[in-house]
Amino acid sequence: EADIYQTPRYLVIGTGKKITLECSQTMGHDKMYWYQQDPGMELHLIHYSYGVNSTEKGDLSSESTVSRIRTEHFPLTLESARPSHTSQYLCASSKTPGGSSYNEQFFGPGTRLTVL
């Protein structure tokens, strides 16, 4: 059973508000990821981290920012929410594998964000 948590699960907010989506994992995984999932189901990597104090932008440009001050915590922040940010946001984590194998990513339940 994966232990990765996201809060809130649902958020409806007005344009211009600052929001932070929380993601925590209790598995001691060094790598963490944020995906944006559009209504057509496709997943887009927007941020990832290889460890504490490491953050990288993903394949899809995003106006959000992330931080990784603690291993278990990887929050995502939008300084000024807009309707175009309405989406499902999924957090994931993985452990650096030994040898040449690739370890799977474990996903949280997601945050569904609606910006009015």
- Could you say whether residue 106 binds another protein (CB under 8 A)? yes
Nearer to another protein (CB atom), residue 14 or residue 39: 39
- Could you say whether residue 17 binds another protein (CB under 8 A)? no
Binding footprint of another protein, residue count (CB under 8 A): 25
Chain-centre distance for alpha carbon 11? 15
The structure tokens listed for 78 are 């939008």
- Could you say whether residue 74 binds another protein (CB under 8 A)? no
CA atoms within 13 Å, Cβ hemisphere of 57: 7
The structure tokens listed for 11 are 């958020």
- C-alpha to C-alpha distance for 31 and 63, rounded to whole angstroms: 21
- Could you say whether residue 69 binds another protein (CB under 8 A)? no
Nearer to another protein (CB atom), residue 17 or residue 107: 107
